[in-house]
Amino acid sequence: MKLTLLLLNSLKGLPARMDHYSRFSPSPLSIKQFLEFGMKSANEKKSFEFLRQELPIRICNMMKEMNLLPEKLLKMPSVKLVNSWYLQTLQDLLEFEDSVNDSPTRERFTESLTTIRNRHANVVETIAQGVLEMREGKWNVDPHEECNIQYFLDRFLMSRISIRMLINQHSKSTCKSS
């Protein structure tokens, strides 16, 4: 019972945090900037500071976009599963929102990022499965909805790639400095 109450209390503030972070646009990063950071100035402290703000922004923006999908798609089990992964990821990231930037915290952050990366390993396939579930079901999808879904899938894939690149770069910079 206490665990349930603790979990419910932790979820209460989540919609407000989601609204807060989704108001920001993700930082535009060119491949050049990404590579330069990795080769010249990569360090755990800078990476931690950047990612603990950037990743919640990217996750929340994608969650907001996901919520704009047609209701019939949102009801599919695979899409619900992806939503739950994103929600758990946001909770994991928010644990570091106000953390001190010290070695033990950065180590826990890197471990959390590894967990997140593993959790999202099949996220593209799972969201695609949700689209297939919808199409195979009794749902009629009009051309406008189809176009919107395709637009979302394109953005989802690009978001997924960028998040994974950021997490991998942080993990590599952590290995170098150890």
Q: What does the alpha-carbon distance between residue 124 and residue 114 come to, in Å, rounded to a whole number?
A: 18
Work out the percent of the chain whose per-residue pLDDT is above 90: 67
**Are 91 and 61 within 8 A, CB to CB?**
no
Task: Indicate the range of 7-11, 14-18, 44-48, 111-115 predicted with least confidence.
Answer: 7-11
Label residue 178 by pLDDT band (50, 70, 90). very low
Cβ burial 7-43 (10 Å sphere, 16+ → b, else e): eeeeeeeeeebbeebbeeebeeeeeeeeeebbeeebe
What pLDDT score was predicted for residue 21? 94
Q: Is 54 exposed, middle or buried (0-12, 13-18, 19+ CB in 10 A)?
A: buried
Angle, alpha carbons 93-90-104 (nearest 5°)? 15
- Global pTM reads 0.86
- Mean pLDDT within 140-167: 92
Q: What does the alpha-carbon distance between residue 97 and residue 94 come to, in Å, rounded to a whole number?
A: 5
Give residue-wise pLDDT tens across range 84-104: 999 999 999 999 999 999 999
